Amino acid sequence: MENNVTKTKAWKKLALHYRFFKKTEMKDLFALDARRGSRYAVSLGSLYLDYSKNRFNEKTMQHLLELADEVHLKEKIEAMFAGEKINRTENRAVLHTALRNRASTPVYVDGRDVMPEINAVLAKMKKFTDAVRYGEFKGETGKKLTTIVNIGIGGSDLGPVMATAALKEYWAKDVQCHFISNIDGSACDDVLSKIDPETTLFVIVSKTFTTIETLTNARTCRKWLIDALGEFAVAKHFVAVSTNAAEVAKFGINTDNMFEFWDFVGGRYSMWSAVGLSIALAIGMENFEKMLDGAYEMDNHFRSAPFAENIPVILGLLGVWYDNFFNFHSYGVVPYDQDLRYLPAYLQQLDMESNGKSVNLNNKFVKHATGPVLFGGAGTDVQHSFFQLLHQGTQVVPLDLIVPAISHNEIGEHHEILVANALAQGEALMRGKTVGEAAAELAKSGKSVTDVSRLKRYKSFAGNRPTNTIVIKKLDPYALGMLVAMYEHKVFVEGAIWNIDSFDQMGVELGKQMALSILPELQGHASGLHDSSTRRLIELVKKLRK
């Protein structure tokens, strides 16, 4: 296998093909092929991907599929599912897929089948969530615990935040969920000012139980609870998702209420594990398991479907095509569903923490682009913020539009208007509007010849801007599971092609290490060596705080 992807035959073919294809207009491709819209679409259950509004033709896709074969993508997929240690920098398996292995077929890590442990934790989660939801596990004063506060950061926060918001329609009627992640004291204060200690259950999510942001927030919440209900209340109002039993017990949590997860599950892939405890508490374990079922269906599709019909593979190949050949280094995700408003933030971590790498698996610096800058927000809100740049800016940004066909809240014409906007954006970004078309439109509206001449360029749109449209029937736990697993595997495909480790996050560490050295200086206990800017900033903040 050629470890430098830019030296592969397929890459060279793509580079040559790009030179001749780069100015091709998508609207011309549609004009030449009346069946393009159906030819380039794939469905899996109730999830439908239309990728026809992308800048490619049959030859492009042929070369991209050759690239997948040449980098042995099939073997890399199998290595992940089989529990091989594909996280090479940390010498770990990557088995978020085992967390939703609904068939419970054996998955081995170091010769040990991990499925019995995974199923045991799922069973423990079910027993505990049922006890809380049905009022059997009560707080210190005997009241039912109806307020869930998740304390975590990164993958221990973003997944639960996204999924609980996405599945709000499935929450128990009496439950409320809150999330504390930021070390900013305002984040803690904002939540604590809204809740009742007698009915609150805190879920601390930290694998090592040493994460500074999480533990600082947890200790503040612990003091708040003790001030209200006394020391003994901690065991009835706090649970932990961790592997550090000693520190959990030291905090005052009963280790019977500690839920384990494993080194083969990275933080940004962990909401399928006990990290999703707050999700299960909100929507019930039955619905949490439906989310696992949806992800499992996407896993099986990714593992077995031919690449030409494989949804994550197609998305990943198009991502490589844009990032490495068109030099489109940004990527947008716009769900047309208010409940999916946190999905882009979740995908930011998934994509940018996974593939924001500059060293490959051969310990060489890469000389090509890797992960794009991902951003997004809920439609139609973002049509009135960053869509101006998407339509008329000098940068081209490939975009995913996510559209549920049915809303949980069918009020009047709201959902038809929402869907009409989503579909119109894809068509408008693809077709654009020429200067001549703009001039004719202005003239037809009664503008003078002078005004037509003055305004026609301002009213024109370059078009030829790519979108994928992903349609689901309705946003339910199963559909959410499919959707998130689809993006996980898309990111995997891109990392596999670029020959990078998509499962470490070394870049998160340097800033944290330096913060620990600056903290004593801000507190006046020490001084250190810094550049002149940082040194002056430390002194300025200390002066202002006095």
**Residues classed as catalytic:** 353, 384, 512
Q: Which residue has the tokens 């996510």?
A: 402
CB 408: neighbour CB atoms within 10 A?
16
Q: Compute the distance between CA of residue 15 and CA of residue 38 in angstroms, rounded to an integer.
A: 27
- Helix, strand, coil shares of the chain as percentages rounded to 5? 55, 10, 35
Strand 330-335 to 373-376 pairing: parallel
Query: How many residues belong to the chain?
Result: 546
Beta bridge partners of 494: none
CA dist 369 → 69, 90, 187, 306, 443 (Å)? 20, 23, 36, 27, 45
Geometric angle at alpha carbon 310, from 103 and 366, rounded to 5°: 105
Q: Which amino acid does the sequence have at 80?
A: M
Query: Within its chain, how far is the Cα of 139 from the centroid?
Result: 34
Taking a C-beta distance cutoff of 8 angstroms, is the pair 86, 93 a contact? yes
Pairing of strands 373-376, 200-205: unpaired
Tally Cβ neighbours within 10 Å of residue 195. Answer: 18
| Structure tokens, 109 | 């890590």
